[in-house]
């Protein structure tokens, strides 16, 4: 199953591999921002399994694991660069040695330094999709950054750029630039901003979907009382987290999942595969990027592409139940 980026015609797999988790632990002060400890060898096997099952799109960011995600991904893709579509992001200052983040960086001159570092860690000489990793900026603050991104496209160091944001004004601003081809936005069964999707459709921008499995809640494996290790972002209370509260699954969302579980697993799908199928049913621009750090996760997520979108009647019934 494939998707095509409307603005430039490039093709990529309909599901990508989100590479936040394979970066391992990193922090902002004492606040965990990673997904717990990881096994780099298993992460590498997961990348290879994803490739073997048709995934060609890999999404990471320089800040994930304070550079470690890019390093693991770059090494895992050795010899396969021509077969894959790599997206990464910039906008966060961090220290690789301490794995600490140090806030946002909006200076346009910083972009080239960040890109050089990402290219080195990813072991490549170009990025397919370079994304702004800053939630929101005013027009006067953003335009010099967008100008620099356009220049990098002209130079061939990046092939296109996008913005990881759900801010409607920022999406409108980005859509005015031809070199912008995508918006990375939150989309899952529990979160659907119809305005964001309309802006993507109207602008013919690929809708790259972060948190497609609600940070794991839609895997179906977490129940009330589950707890996470201290270096897992889900055990804390970052201000934007609503899928987990005080380290436990959101009870109301677990109830919603229970109400649609049978529908999601119709036609032999797993819960995960049903949740991804729901996203593909939203429109033909959606590209979910579920986080993966094990071979089993890579295989299950990739096989969702064999099922494709939910049947329209199932999609509509799921929506009806969730909106009651």
If we measure between CA atoms, which residue out of 305, 33, 280, 61 comes closest to residue 162? Answer: 61
For residue 245, pLDDT beyond 90:
no
User: What is 12-322's CATH number?
Assistant: 3.20.20.100
Closest CA to 15 of 321, 303, 324, 221: 303
> Could you give the CA distance from residue 9 to residue 12 in angstroms, rounded to a whole number?
10
| Domain assignments of the chain as residue spans, ordered by start | 12-322
Share of the chain above pLDDT 70, in %: 100
Q: Measured between alpha carbons, how far is 24 from 26 in angstroms, rounded to an integer? A: 7
Which residues are bridge partners to 163 per DSSP?
132, 183
**Does 4 have pLDDT greater than 90?**
yes
Stretch 280-301: mean pLDDT, rounded? 98
* Mean pLDDT within 56-73: 98
- Would you say 157 and 116 are in contact if contact means Cβ atoms under 8 Å apart? no
Query: If you average pLDDT over residues 133-159, what whole number do you get?
Result: 98
* Alpha carbon distance 32, 231 (integer Å): 5
**Sign of the dihedral defined by the CA atoms of residues 62, 214, 207, 163, in that order:** negative
- The sign one gets for the Cα dihedral 298, 263, 281, 215 is negative
CB 59 within 8 A of CB 69: no
Split at pLDDT 50, 70, 90, the class of 246 is confident
Could you tell me the two tokens for 101?
């983040």
Which of these, 240, 217, 212, 213, lies nearest to 228 by C-alpha position? 217
Residues 172, 54: Cα–Cα separation, whole Å: 32
272: nearest Cα among 213, 222, 316: 213
pLDDT tens, residue by residue, 193-204: 999 999 999 999
Distance CA 275, CA 255 (A): 15
b/e map of 142-180 (b: 16 or more CB within 10 Å)?
Answer: beebbebbbebbeeebbbbbbbbbbbeebbebbbebebb
**Structural tokens at position 19:** 């590479």
- How confident is the model at residue 241, as a pLDDT? 82
CA 52 – CA 54 distance, rounded (Å) = 6
> Is residue 227's pLDDT more than 90?
no
3-state DSSP assignment of residue 162? strand
Q: What is the mean pLDDT of residues 287-315?
A: 98
H helices present in 105-190, as ranges:
108-122, 139-155, 168-175
């Amino acid at each position: 199953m494939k998707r095509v980026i409307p603005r430039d015609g490039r093709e990529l797999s309909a599901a990508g591999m989100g590479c936040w988790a394979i970066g391992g632990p990193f922090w902002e002060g004492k606040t965990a921002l990673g997904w717990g400890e990881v096994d780099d060898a298993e992460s590498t096997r997961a990348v290879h399994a994803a490739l073997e099952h048709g995934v060609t799109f890999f999404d990471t960011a320089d800040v994930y694991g304070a550079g470690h995600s890019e390093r693991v991904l770059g090494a895992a893709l050795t010899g396969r660069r021509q077969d894959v579509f790599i997206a990464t992001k910039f906008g966060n200052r961090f220290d690789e040695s301490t794995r600490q983040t140090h806030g946002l960086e909006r200076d346009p001159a910083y972009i080239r330094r960040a890109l050089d570092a990402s290219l080195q860690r990813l072991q490549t000489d170009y990025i397919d999709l370079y994304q702004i990793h800053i939630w929101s900026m005013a027009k006067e603050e953003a335009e010099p950054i967008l100008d620099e991104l356009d220049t990098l496209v002209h130079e061939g160091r990046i092939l296109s750029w996008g913005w990881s944001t759900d801010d409607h004004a920022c999406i409108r601003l980005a859509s005015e630039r031809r070199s912008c081809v995508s918006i990375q936005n939150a989309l899952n069964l529990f979160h659907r901003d119809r305005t964001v999707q309309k802006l993507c459709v109207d602008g013919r921008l690929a809708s790259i979907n972060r948190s497609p499995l609600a940070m794991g809640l839609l895997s179906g494996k977490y129940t009330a009382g589950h707890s996470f290790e201290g270096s897992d972002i889900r055990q804390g209370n970052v201000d934007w987290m609503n899928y987990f509260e005080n380290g436990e699954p959101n009870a109301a969302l677990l109830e919603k999942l229970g109400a649609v579980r049978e529908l999601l697993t119709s036609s032999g799908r797993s819960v995960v595969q049903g949740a991804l199928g729901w996203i593909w049913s939203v429109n033909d621009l959606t590209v979910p990027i579920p986080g993966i750090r094990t071979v089993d996760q890579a295989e299950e997520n990739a096989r969702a592409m064999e099922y494709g979108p939910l049947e329209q009647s199932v999609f509509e019934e799921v929506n009806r139940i969730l909106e009651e």
